[in-house]
Structure 1
Amino acid sequence: MEPVVLAVFYILVIARLLSIFISAANERRLKQLGAVEYGRCNSAFLVLAHFAYYIACVIEGNRRGAFFYDGISYLGLGIYAFSIAVLYYVIYAIRHVWTVKLIIAPPQLHVINKSPLFKYIKHPNYFLNIIPELIGIALFLHAWITLVAGLIIYLVPLITRIKQEEAVMKEHFSEY
């Protein structure tokens, strides 16, 4: 069972890393078409915080003797798997405009997704992907300090991003 659990974990981490390449490709295309990036400084801080959180989880988990193969780790892996599935659903749902940065495409290219997921959960990428992703990886590795302290620190740029995104979307799209 342990090799299967590790294989699933590594596959999910690779899937998460692949999403960064999707984001970069979308960003290049969008900017070629005249898209504008907002909140550049906060985006850089978010990326840094994300990598730092992962590194802290790995270091803390390693010091505790990760991998544990217990109920908490399995719960964490399940939450992490859920978050990656949501990430790819969001990428599929908003396609070419999905990036890890706050980029607004020209109006003819930037369509507001009005599906039930986006209608009832204003920011599914943040609330159903990023926050569960961070919780899941910390639980999987039993990184308790990172879970508490790291998540609190991470929430500062995430809340800033949500506020920036709300303001920019309302400014550019009357139907938002």
Structure 2
Amino acid sequence: MRVSKQNEARIVADGGREYGAFNSKLMAIVHVLIYFYALGEFYYLDRSVNSLTFIGMGLVVFSMYMLYMVSRLLSPIWTVKLMVAKNHQYVDHWLFRNIKHPNYFLNIVPELVGIILVCQAWYTALLLLPIYAIIMYIRIIEENKIIELLKVESF
């Protein structure tokens, strides 16, 4: 989060801008709610550690590695928010060419599924994952529009 905040400040100071601010806020709120509800469900429903816990931990570790990779590849322009820097250059790394939206599908989805499995938070999954999926779908549509504009502008 610290790196994202620093990059956000620099992007805005250099004339960049944010898109989809309302959706980004919703995404952040529901993301945090999934953690709180999952942990609450684990604690209050007295779930026990089992093989699902370890599968979930593996997914969380994988997701953190992918977050590291994506944030490193996008380095000065990586943010949690949907932002475009002035004179933004489209990043044409093989990961982005072969996996559309790797931050969402290789970081966020495994992270949240991992947390659900670690906590065995089935009620949280039923309640909040569909809401998060809708928010992420809207975010991807917004991001796809911006990516297409960047591709056109960079050539």
Q: TM-score, normalised by structure 1?
A: 0.83
* 1:129 alignment partner, one of 107, 119, 131: 107
Q: Hey, what's the Cα distance between the residues in 1 that align with 2:151 and 2:86?
A: 11
How far apart in 2 are the matches of 1:81 and 1:64? 25
Tell me what 1:80 maps to: 60
CA distance in 2, matches of 1:167, 1:44: 19
Cα offset for 1:156?
A: 1.1
Comparing 89-98 with 166-175, which one deviates more in the overlay?
166-175
Amino acid at match of 1:52: L
Aligned residue in 2 for 1:45: 26
Please point out which of 105, 129, 133 is paired with 1:155.
Answer: 133
Q: Which residue of 2 aligns with 1:14?
A: none
Misfit runs of 4+, over 3 Å: none
Say how many residue pairs are matched: 154
The 5-angstrom pairing of residues 79-118 of structure 1 reads 79-107=59-87, 110-118=88-96
Instruction: Pick from 29, 32, 37 the counterpart of residue 13 of structure 2.
Output: 32
Q: Which stretch has the larger CA shift, 25-34 or 56-65?
A: 56-65
Over the matched positions of the two proteins, sequence identity in percent amounts to 35
- CA distance in structure 1 between the aligned counterparts of 2:147 and 2:69, rounded to whole angstroms: 21
Q: CA RMSD in A?
A: 1.4
**Higher RCO by CA contacts (8 Å cutoff, separation 6 or greater):** 2
SS at match of 1:65: coil
Q: Could you tell me which residue of structure 2 aligns to residue 59 of structure 1?
A: 40
TM-score, normalised by the number of residues in structure 2: 0.94
Give deviations 1:105-158, integer Å, cap 9, x for gaps.
112xx2222222111111000000001100001100111111232111101111
Report if the CA contact (8 A) 2:55-2:118 is conserved. yes
Q: Is the 8 A contact 2:52 2:117 kept in 1?
A: yes
